[in-house]
Amino acid sequence: TTLPPPRTRIFKIIVIGDSGVGKTCLTYRFCAGKFPEKTEATIGVDFRERVIDIDGEKIKIQLWDTAGQERFRKSMVQHYYRNVHAVVFVYDVTSAGSFRGLPSWIEECKQHALGTEVPRILVGNKCDLRHFVQVGTDVAQQFADSHSMPLFETSAKSPGSNGGADGASGGGGGNSD
Ligand code: GDP
Ligand code: MG
């Protein structure tokens, strides 16, 4: 890897959650501006970057897309928590199981980002599948509140399809530049 030009600050953000919740699609959407035609199960850690402009300063957002598989995680886990600037926890709104999986991800994060005040957000993905929702906004919001995280409900596939719920367009939907 080459050094960034001066003034390009890099923010490392890791994306965590059960397998299949849409972590790869979300990171792809953010960095490539579209939904991937097809994704393969992520192996180990993948990362994608996008440079955004904040107040005239170029900020490189480096999204680390992680795999859920235990056997890869064990060896990789140290690497992706190192020097992390923010953590995105993802569940799938159509999968109660993925929501129940969140506490163990949060626990892992606590253990590896010890004592640091890393900003964390909670993302409910696949809101386009509105007829299949298993995790309602109320329950998710309560959970987010109890962990002092903001909640964003969104869709990597169709970011505008959440009916305009508060906050969602600031997350995965904010890719319209
Ligand atoms: P990961 O294992 O968390 O990386 O999940 P992927 O990004 O590989 O997505 C898993 C599956 O969910 C794939 O078949 C995706 O096409 C699908 N998927 C991901 N995001 C969305 C979404 O927002 N809406 C819908 N309908 N499907 C999605
Ligand atoms: Mg993946």
DSSP state for residue 53 in the 8-state scheme:
E
Q: Where are the alpha helices (DSSP H) in 57-136?
A: 70-81, 96-100, 102-112
Give whole-number Cα distances, 158 to 26, 94, 96, 153, in Å: 11, 15, 21, 12
Q: How many Cα atoms sit within 13 Å of 40 on the Cβ side?
A: 4
Range 64-93 average pLDDT: 80
pLDDT in tens, 129-170: 999 999 999 999 999 999 999 999 999 999 877 644 444 333
Residue 51 has pLDDT above 50, yes or no: yes
- Quote the pLDDT of residue 90: 97
- Quote the pLDDT of residue 47: 81
Question: Among candidates 121, 126, 114, 169, which has minimal Cα distance to 16?
Answer: 121
Q: Please indicate whether residue 128, judged by its CB atom, sits closer than 6 Å to ligand 1.
A: yes
Residue 13's pLDDT band, with cuts at 50, 70 and 90, is very high
Q: Which residue has the higher pLDDT, 117 or 152?
A: 152
Q: Please indicate whether residue 29, judged by its CB atom, sits closer than 6 Å to ligand 1.
A: no
Q: Please indicate whether residue 14, judged by its CB atom, sits closer than 6 Å to ligand 1.
A: no
Burial of 11 (0-12, 13-18, 19+ CB in 10 A): middle
- Quote the pLDDT of residue 175: 36
- Quote the pLDDT of residue 82: 87
All residues at 6 or more sequence positions from 161 whose CB lies less than 8 Å from its CB, including other chains:
127, 128, 130, 155
Mean pLDDT value across the chain? 84
- Quote the pLDDT of residue 174: 36
Predicted-assembly ipTM surpassing the 0.95 threshold: yes
Which atom number of ligand 1 is nearest to the Cα of residue 125?
23
Which atom number of ligand 1 is nearest to the Cα of residue 154?
23
